[in-house]
Amino acid sequence: MIGVMTRWLDPDEQRTWRAFLTASRGLMETLDRELQRDAGMPHAYYEILVRLSEAPGRRLRMSELAKLNSSSRSRLSHAAARLEESGWVRRESCPTDRRGQVAVLTEAGFQALAAAAPGHVEGVRRHLFDQLSPAEIDQLRRISEALADHLDPDRPTT
């Protein structure tokens, strides 16, 4: 890195960067706090339940679930253990790979998700979409997709 010129942020870029950090952290902290208060689960667990609810048979290989949630396998394994303790997820051996495991959403987990979803969606609407115009929502989607594609071009969509 010797001899490489640092491309410092100009004042507008610095302001944009700090606003982005503040807004994204604040949004996620608020949604997490609301889910904890209203449904007794952190946002990370909610996302796992959502991914499993959308999967065929409400089951996914742990490695695929980690990838979909942009999580490390060890972090996902810890979360799955906690979700198992709650009775919301169970882990099974993968039938095609002895080393792999499959996470399965239980009926109790589906019911917990169904109970949490209306309040969470209302929070997303209130804290994000209600604050933006339709044009800004479209811009936010396009910007977010561009960043996601740049940061992980092999990421699964949706």
pLDDT of 95 reads 81
Domain boundaries, the chain: 30-116, 128-158
Which residues of the chain form beta strands (DSSP E)?
Answer: 59-61, 89-94, 97-105
Nearest to 144 by CA among 44, 122, 136, 121: 136
CA distance 145 to 158: 10
**Residues of the chain predicted below pLDDT 50:** none
Residue 2 pLDDT: 65
Class of domain 30-116: mainly alpha
Are the CB atoms for 112 and 41 separated by under 8 Å? yes
The per-residue pLDDT for range 16-52, each reduced to its tens digit, is 999 999 999 999 999 999 999 999 999 999 999 999 9
Question: How far apart are alpha carbons 123 and 18 in whole angstroms?
Answer: 23
Q: How high is the pLDDT of residue 158?
A: 55
